Structure 1
């Protein structure tokens, strides 16, 4: 069964798209969708084994992927990686800045080194990848850059480092969209809400308990799927969004819109879209979505 994208076949035929953090979670899902639509996908991350596993999956499905192991915090390594992508892919039409990572800690106990490491991971590296994509290809050919960030509204208790970095990346997005418009380069950001992805398994049991409890307060009464994020990213990379730049798209099921004094009754009406045929399932502390949960969208 192939990826069940909502977009037309061959939408990205002849194009190369770089996806950082492509070895798992949202990055893996997005890479699969882009490859299913004809793109040559450049998978970038620190663990080559994970990247090669995804590349093998894509090849089995009839797509094309190339792998690039890279520490995105290393400027020279990023420069060499982008050069390699352009050489092997022949071009660079799109970038999905998805890689990142953080840990939980009260701000008062967080070291400066720990804070700076996450900022380099989640802010500096994204800028460096975008800059190299521009200077090595997009400045002369145009392109689209999508930055995966996190919602800074209301702060990020227990993760002040990533809150600062991700909020910074939204501003970077808006700034680059203006500065690079004359090159035909569009820059946008996507803010996933609670997404049922394997990345949630890295959090402490205490944080996982907070996620589970938080579901009761969410208007949709469920977490989002990786495919629901990927479809928005894919739109922003496509020609259909040719007049969209400097924008921030929220994929959170209205979870940041609800007032504290408002309660949404329990329901099962917000059906998930699960187009990813190789979805590994939700985090271990959550139950899986069934065919019935996906309604008519499940195939």
Structure 2
């Protein structure tokens, strides 16, 4: 954990989520694993699911080292049966889910004219349908706990980015799903919000859509002049799920250093360069 992250982690009480169960889809790696760690550091019992048993095992060991209870089960968010088993198992083992983080996602660069129907459908199935599956299957537990749902989306949901037609469609759908659930589930005491990360350094997601040499070029187009940290996104999720945000629902929180302000032209140009250098990227 970086010094910057350590400062973040010390700002809120360590027992902020004591006696609460947090379920994170895609929690075995990347940003979602960082989110799971942040909740664990603040006292939560943490459940994670993902498609890779190896990643889940490693994540489970790391989370257990933080001292709390951990539940991990292999599940593909596109498969309602697998996901139900994971969500039900988490509730039975750790107690009703009080916070659901829908983070499982897929991404790659592709011009729309060469994007296959299967590639488009795969991203929509993981990001949008997977988010709905998780929220719907966790509803009974969230209703009992008067819980919170946090969706992890992307700038592509709010602004056109070249070579991201599949991601933009999927994440825009997730954003509207978030708002609809805030409207419909508010009377049950369930809040629904989203975190919209900008470019986060040293993550698989960034590696899929940019070359390492591009990163320095990005900084000139980010007002805060640095890449995001996993911890920046994680603490935003912690805040939205915490008692500090009990009157916040239906809200998209951009955690991007101002990246969205100048537009997507720099992303588009770098994406074109990457595809030209590696047509299969």
What TM-score results when the alignment is normalised by the length of structure 2?
0.86
Whether 1:229 aligns to 2:214 is no
Measured after TM superposition, the shift of residue 53 of structure 1 is 0.9
Post-superposition CA distance 1:107-165 (Å, at most 9, x none): 00011111011100111100110111113x12233100000001123312112101110
In structure 2, the residue matched to 1:246 is 250
Between the aligned partners of 2:187 and 2:146, the Cα distance in structure 1 is 9
Measured after TM superposition, the shift of residue 259 of structure 1 is 7.0
Contact 1:16 1:93 in 2 (8 A): yes
Contact 1:188 1:246 in 2 (8 A): yes
Whether 1:140 aligns to 2:144 is yes
Between the aligned partners of 2:263 and 2:200, the Cα distance in structure 1 is 21
Unmatched runs of 5 consecutive residues or more in structure 2: 265-281
Q: 2:100 aligns with which of 92, 95, 103?
A: 95
In structure 1, the residue matched to 2:130 is 125
Q: Over aligned residue pairs, what C-alpha RMSD do you find?
A: 2.1
Structural mapping, 1:48-87, within 5 Å: 48-87=53-92
Whether 1:24 aligns to 2:29 is yes
Whether 1:40 aligns to 2:45 is yes
Alpha carbons of 1:256 and 1:99: their partners in 2 closer, same or farther (altered >3 Å)? same
Q: 1:199 aligns with which of 195, 204, 209?
A: 204
Measured after TM superposition, the shift of residue 101 of structure 1 is 0.9
Q: 1:106 aligns with which of 100, 111, 123?
A: 111
Contact 1:141 1:183 in 2 (8 A): no
Measured after TM superposition, the shift of residue 209 of structure 1 is 4.4
Unmatched runs of 5 consecutive residues or more in structure 1: 261-299
Task: Tell me which stretches of 4 or more aligned residues in structure 1 moved more than 6 Å.
Answer: none
Contact 1:200 1:208 in 2 (8 A): no
